[in-house]
Each structure stands twice: as C-alpha cells, then as structure tokens.
C-alpha cells in the first residue's frame, strides 16, 4: 500500500468521526507488518477527558484483532473537510504507539502541499518503556 493510499484511508476513516464538541474530524490508518489495515476515528465524549483519538482507536482495534507488529500510520484531520493543515499525533497517542513500535516507525501526515513523513522518534524521542518499570 502506498503512503498516498494510506492517507486516503485515513481521510475516509475521518468520515465516521464522532466529534460534536471540537467539530474536528480525525482519521487514522494503521498498516500492519502483514499488510492488513486498521482504521480509526476520534470518538469524543461529553466529559471531554474520555475522548479517544483516531490513532488510538486504530491501534486498539488492531491489537484487539491480534495484531501487534506495525509498519506505519497515516493521520488526517480537518475542521473544514480540506485537510489543509497537518494533524500531529498527540503525546498520549505517541506513547501508546511506542508500546508496539520502534523509533523508526513511520508517521505519515498530510497538508495542502502533500505528504510529510516523520519517524516516531522525532515526535517522541524518550518514550516511557517497560525498562523504566524495573
Ligand atoms: N485528535 C485526534 O483524534 N488525533 C490527533 O492526533 C489530535 C487530536 C482529536 C481529539 C479530539 O477529538 C479532537 O481531535 C480535537 O482535539
């Protein structure tokens, strides 16, 4: 699957976003090592703090389906349907991804000029890991 297709899947997933409070629709598409694909959208809550981002929705769906080896994730968010500005994964989602993904894991983002590729380690150079629990 190309990065462009991955971004298109993320945009498609954002259509299911439940975001009556922020009105900001986010979609994520997580590509597994075996080429299977899991998508997610943000699901907001009246309590606000119970909101789940699109990235974690996709990640937890994949893990619940028995997948825990991943190649890359695409994220696309928009308040107006244009996806003109990059949506950066939040710190909680980066930490959640870091449980399963190495620093080289690719994060594929989009804005009006096209596709941007980052590594997980560029966003979160020092994740909290199981090593800290010793
Ligand atoms: N959101 C995501 O789903 N992913 C991100 O990477 C950033 C933020 C959601 C959470 C909330 O529903 C809305 O965007 C506004 O913060």
Which pTM value belongs to this model? 0.98
pLDDT for the residue 89: 98
pLDDT for the residue 45: 98
Ligand 1 atom index nearest CA of 43: 12
pLDDT for the residue 79: 98
Q: Is there a catalytic annotation at residue 44?
A: no
Question: How many CB atoms are located within 10 Å of the residue 61 CB?
Answer: 15
Pocket test of ligand 1: the residue of 77, 89, 94 to mutate, having most ligand atoms within 8 Å of its CB, is 77
pLDDT for the residue 80: 97
Residue range 109-122, pLDDT digits in tens: 999 999 999 999 99
Catalytic: which of 5, 8, 44, 55? 55
Confidence of residue 92 (pLDDT cuts 50, 70, 90): very high
Confidence of residue 65 (pLDDT cuts 50, 70, 90): very high
């Amino acid at each position: 699957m190309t990065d462009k297709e991955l971004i298109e899947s993320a945009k498609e997933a954002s259509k299911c976003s439940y975001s009556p409070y922020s009105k900001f629709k986010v979609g994520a598409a997580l590509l597994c090592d075996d080429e299977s694909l899991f998508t997610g959208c943000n699901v907001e809550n009246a309590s606000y703090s119970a909101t789940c981002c699109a990235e974690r929705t996709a990640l937890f769906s994949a893990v619940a389906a028995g997948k825990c080896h991943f190649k890359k994730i695409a994220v696309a968010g928009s308040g107006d349907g244009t996806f003109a500005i990059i949506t950066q994964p939040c710190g909680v989602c980066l930490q959640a991804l870091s449980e399963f993904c190495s620093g080289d894991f690719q994060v594929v983002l989009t804005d009006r000029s096209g596709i941007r590729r980052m590594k997980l380690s560029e966003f979160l150079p020092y994740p909290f890991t199981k090593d800290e629990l010793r």
